[in-house]
Every structure is written in C-alpha cells, then in structure tokens.
Amino acid sequence: MMPIRVAHSPDSDDAFMFYALAKGKLDTGDLEFEHVLSDIETLNREAFQGTYEVTAVSIHAFAHLDDRYALLDSGASMGDGYGPVVVAREEIAPERLSEVTVAIPGTLTSAALALKMWNPRLTTTVLPFDAIIPAVQNSQVDAGVVIHEGQLTWESDGLRRLVDLGEWWAERNAGLPLPLGGNVIRRDLGDEMMTRIAGLLRQSIEYSLAHRGEALGHALHYGRGLDREKADRFVGMYVNDLTVSYGERGRRAVREFLEQAYEQRLIPRVPRLDFV
C-alpha cells in the first residue's frame, strides 16, 4: 500500500468533502489515504516544507507554493457572493478602520489578503481563527475577520458586520466568487499519480453531494457548535459545483484574485495555475 497523506481543516465543510475517503466508501486500490487535521494557517506553513502529498491551502499561500505543488481542480472553497466577514462590537465607519487594529486568522490566509486588497492601510494582528470572536467581544481587539463557522455565528455572538469581503469582491468583479481555499498536490508524485489522486478526491466530493444526509451526519462532528440546519447551510456555502470543479468561472476568479493582488504588490508573483 502507498500512503497518501491528505491534510485539511477540522471543520464541517472539509469533513463533508472528504467523507467518502475517510470512511472507505471508495475503491482506492493500492493507495491508503491518511487524514491529517490542522488549522489552515498551520497547513499553509507546512506546505512550504512539502510535508503532505495533498493538502488544503489558502489561495493566498499558493502564490508562494507553485514550484512544489500544483492546484487541484477539485476541492475549492469559494465565497460566491459571501465570504470572510469583518466584525466589531460597535459600528465603525470605514474611514476609521485605519485607526484601529483588526485581527486576522493568519498572514497567509486568503481572508487576510482580501482584507488588504479592500483596505491596504489597515493595521492587523494575528490570532487563531477561533480566538477572533472572543477577542472582539472582550475588547482585546477593535475588529476581526471571521472565517469558517464564524461567518454564520457572529450575529448571535452579539457582533456587528462592517463588511463581507465576499460581497465586496463580487461587486468589484462582476459577480465572480472569492477564492479562499484550494487543495494542492505535490508535483514530485508525477503526472500519472497526480491525476489518479485528483480523480479520487473528486469522486469523494461527488459521493458526499449524492449522499448528503450521511455525509452531513459525519460533518456535524466537526461543526464547532453548529446545529444540523446551520451545518447544512455552511456546507452548502462551501461544498457545491465550484468544489467539484472550478470550471471556467472559478478559474477566472482565481486568476483575477491573484493578478489583482500582484498588481497591488501584495504577493511576489502570479503562480502557475495547472488545475490538475
């Protein structure tokens, strides 16, 4: 058996996506998939070392990783008219945000990149993604960018929305989705193995979409307090047709996101985009 480590976030959408592989629903032949769970910023950092054969990374981080990894056509997290949300305890006028500190869930996250594209003058500080809402509530920071389930819970946590970065991106780019995360595969596996693994990952996503009830039951274990209704909504936001395949619209969104970031001198180059 050939071990293939697949690293991804311990949240409900990734758990839903990889359900079929994690629970042996697919015939993987001589490939043995091992799932490694970690927060996205840690995965971004590990990818610089080439630690895992397949890993989730932020599209922002991929701008630095294309020499070692290729972007897979399946597994994207795209905010289609929605995305990371900047929240605060009280309303803050947009022009005043440059005077306060905004917490971000990691310097290599796409949320951090989108925030800087929205307002390059912001002062930021890094906190773990699940510490941002409590930090805003407790006045540790003035505002914060929430990702994952926090995009659905910020209001019940007593916070105010200052901007939805996915909405902002769509308005600026003729309705294109905001690229947030993607799956990448190590190039040293070779073209044949990369293609084979890519096919199995796509099958896993398609299986979950076709068996939504059982896959959602598995995903609920990773929902961090979401009830079934909210977990189903969150999974629907980030596991959909764009996850099965970027398609032309999704690929165009990735290129635009990275090209615009490069034009603003926020990334060193536009990476090679293969979409295996």
The residues, any chain, with a CB within 8 Å of residue 249's CB and separated by 6 or more, are 176, 177, 242
Q: Average pLDDT in the 135-164 region?
A: 90
> What is the predicted pLDDT for the residue at 157?
86
The answer to whether residue 106 scores a pLDDT higher than 90 is yes
Radius of gyration of the chain measured on its C-alpha atoms: 18
Q: Average pLDDT in the 71-84 region?
A: 95
Q: Using 50, 70 and 90 to split pLDDT, how confident is the model at 221? A: confident
Residue 52 host element (H or E): none
| Predicted TM-score of the model (pTM) | 0.93
CA distance 144 to 137: 10
The answer to whether residue 211 scores a pLDDT higher than 80 is yes
Residue 55: helix, strand or coil by DSSP? strand
CA distance 254 to 176: 9
- What sign does the dihedral 106-108-114-116 (CA atoms) show? positive
- Asked if 221 is an active-site residue, the reply is no
CA 184 to chain centre: 12
Q: What is the pLDDT of residues 1-30, one digit of tens each?
A: 899 999 998 888 999 999 999 999 999 999
Residue 156 host element (H or E): none
The answer to whether residue 225 scores a pLDDT higher than 80 is no
Which among 8, 60, 64, 148 is annotated as catalytic?
148
> What is the predicted pLDDT for the residue at 133?
94
Strands (E) in the chain, as ranges, are: 2-8, 31-37, 54-58, 69-71, 77-79, 85-88, 101-104, 123-126, 143-146, 160-164, 178-186
Q: What is the pLDDT of residues 36-75, one digit of tens each?
A: 999 989 999 999 999 999 999 999 999 999 999 999 999 9
> What is the predicted pLDDT for the residue at 222?
79
Distances (CA, A) of 174 to 41, 43, 88, 239, 256: 29, 31, 28, 22, 11
Domains of the chain: 2-79+178-263 (3.40.190.10), 85-172 (3.40.190.10)
The answer to whether residue 98 scores a pLDDT higher than 90 is no
